Amino acid sequence: MDKVNHAYDERRVLRDVQVTLTERRVAVIGANGSGKSTFARLLNGLVVPDDGEVRVNGLSTRTDGAAVRRQVGFVFTDPDAQIVMPTVAEDVAFSLRRRKLSRDDTARLVAEHLDTFGLGGHADHPAHLLSGGQKQLLALCSILVTQPQVLVCDEPTTLLDLANSRRITELLAGLSQQIVLVTHDLDAVLSYERVLVFADGTIVYDGPPADAVKQYRMMITGT
């Protein structure tokens, strides 16, 4: 990400952000309105910067958006925003449509991934009638079945209870993909390799998790 600026109407939300993410586990923290969610959406081209450039493996989100999104999966705070099909199995299968697999191969991949995410017994269940935790698992499953190289998660546990929040956090920790996690859960980021702290649209701290959390707490409390 090179000298990125972005605004919504007259409100500037990112200012001259410049960063390269190479670590396997990167967390992003900051107060509401600090720019962290816009930053996350820039990483897979959901948002294109007003100025500057965002590149993923050499691809520009401005000119190669579709190719970038095939490499970078995105998990929203509210899983209902990305569950699009009536049943659980259909939603996962929908993610595979571009691969033009046979019906048998699609069914096999769907079944394997549902079992991995503990949803094997819910294949024919109405997707929007799942519990909050199950919906977030389905959202993750529907993304990871496409085998992205990078997974960007924008506050994926905010709407979950403690048990499901821990389950999602542990699941993310075990994935092989590079993870960029935007979160308010300061305990969760302590296991990450690198933490970015956002304030007023800029990265005000970039470093080890314990130091980043300490810096953020000082910003919030003034001590």
Whose CA is closest to 178, among 27, 53, 62?
A: 27
DSSP string covering 111-154, please? Answer: HHHHHHTT-GGGTTSBGGGS-HHHHHHHHHHHHHTT--SEEEEE
pLDDT at site 1: 92
Token pair listed for 139: 């959202």
pLDDT at site 138: 96
Per-residue pLDDT of 21-80, as tens digits, reads 999 999 999 999 999 999 999 999 999 999 999 999 999 999 999 999 999 999 999 999
pLDDT at site 46: 94
List the domain range (segments joined by +) for residue 76: 2-83+148-221
Average pLDDT over residues 111-140: 94
Residue 222 has pLDDT above 80, yes or no: no
- Report yes or no on 47 lying in a domain: yes
Average pLDDT over residues 181-190: 94
Cα separation, 147 vs 71, in Å, equals 8
- Report yes or no on 134 lying in a domain: no
Residue 200 has pLDDT above 90, yes or no: yes
- Report yes or no on 113 lying in a domain: no
The domain spanning residue 69 has which CATH number?
Answer: 3.40.50.300
- Report yes or no on 18 lying in a domain: yes
Rounded alpha-carbon distances, angstroms, from residue 139 to 27, 32, 59, 114, 151 = 20, 23, 25, 11, 12
**What pTM value is reported for the model?**
0.92
Strands 150-154 and 178-182: parallel
| Domains of the chain: total | 1
pLDDT at site 223: 62
